[in-house]
């Protein structure tokens, strides 16, 4: 199931969400096309759990933030930005600009903490906005569960466009991340997707959503 857009208008212009998308794109352009050594750039600014734990310093701690704005490829970047574009604006609408930025960064930090906890010996660079975006997804789920999302449903060799409640789209996404994360427990340290970072970010967003929202009747939801 691939979401394309939601039917949940905003009351404010989501400047922070737009800025986050632009920053991620600009960092990726620099990472791939401008920096003279892309591989060295990744090793310098991506999060490496074992390095952070064994050689903790301001430099290694800073990778908790810098890694949030890096991506491993165009599809990685595109998929993350699509989710942030669809769901992040409404979360910012509920929280306000400043609170949303703090919430986003905290969600990313919590996601990284969960990844480090589950893979403390990993020597593989971890990068991507997925954990912070997962926090936005968790917040969206609790704030707008009945908002409908236009999604692509694969049916064998055919694709179908249909409106699906956010609680189904995001609920299935979370269950998939949790299931795949459970499959990695106790396994070898391999590269790929940091499923526990996704899960941790989502849970953080779900829990913190009401705390960071400005209150009021956030019930601008379409019917099932």
pLDDT(222) > 70: no
> Looking at residue 167, what is its pLDDT?
94
**Model confidence at 216, in pLDDT bands (50, 70, 90)?**
very low
> Looking at residue 190, what is its pLDDT?
47
**Model confidence at 137, in pLDDT bands (50, 70, 90)?**
very high
Q: Where are the domains of the chain?
A: 2-212
Distance CA 183, CA 179 (A): 6
Which positions ≥6 away from 89 have C-beta within 8 Å? 10, 14, 17
From the list 131, 161, 136, 134, the residue with the least C-alpha distance to 149 is 161
pLDDT(217) > 60: no
Is the distance from CB of 52 to CB of 116 less than 8 angstroms? yes
pLDDT(223) > 50: no
Structure tokens at 102: 């703090």
What percentage of residues in the chain have a pLDDT greater than 90? 77
Alpha helix segments (H runs only) across the chain:
15-29, 38-45, 49-54, 58-66, 74-95, 97-118, 130-143, 166-184, 195-212
Length of the chain equals 224
C-alpha distances in Å from residue 59, one per residue of 3, 33, 147: 37, 24, 42
| 158: enclosing H helix or E strand | strand 158-165
Instruction: Look at 138 and 192; give whichever has higher pLDDT.
Output: 138
**Model confidence at 215, in pLDDT bands (50, 70, 90)?**
low
> Looking at residue 186, what is its pLDDT?
61
> Looking at residue 220, what is its pLDDT?
42
As a whole number, mean pLDDT of residues 110-123 equals 92
Q: Name the class of domain 2-212.
A: mainly alpha
pLDDT(188) > 60: no
Instruction: Look at 51 and 185; give whichever has higher pLDDT.
Output: 51
- What is the per-residue pLDDT across 60-104, written as a single tens digit (0 to 9) for each? 999 999 999 999 999 999 999 999 999 999 999 999 999 999 999
What is the pLDDT of the chain when averaged over all its residues? 89
């Amino acid at each position: 199931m691939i979401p394309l857009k939601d039917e949940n208008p905003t009351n404010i212009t989501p400047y922070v969400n737009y800025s986050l998308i632009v920053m991620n794109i600009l960092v990726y352009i620099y990472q791939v096309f401008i920096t003279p050594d892309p591989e060295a750039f990744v090793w310098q600014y991506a999060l490496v759990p074992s390095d952070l734990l064994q050689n903790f310093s301001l430099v290694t701690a800073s990778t908790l933030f810098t890694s949030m704005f890096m991506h491993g490829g165009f599809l990685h970047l595109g998929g993350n930005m699509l989710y942030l574009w669809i769901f992040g604006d409404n979360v910012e609408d509920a929280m306000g600009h400043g609170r949303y930025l703090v919430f986003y960064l905290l969600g990313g930090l919590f996601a990284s903490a969960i990844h480090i906890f589950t893979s403390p010996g990993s020597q593989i660079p971890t990068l991507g906005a997925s954990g912070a975006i997962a926090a936005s997804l968790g917040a969206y789920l609790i704030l707008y569960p009945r908002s409908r999302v236009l999604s692509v449903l694969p049916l064998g060799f055919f694709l179908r466009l249909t409106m699906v409640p956010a609680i189904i789209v995001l609920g299935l996404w979370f269950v998939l991340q949790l299931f795949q994360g459970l499959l990695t427990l106790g396994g070898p340290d391999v590269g790929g997707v940091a499923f526990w970072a996704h899960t941790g970010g989502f849970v953080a967003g779900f829990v913190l959503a009401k705390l960071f929202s400005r209150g009021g009747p956030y019930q601008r939801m379409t019917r099932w």
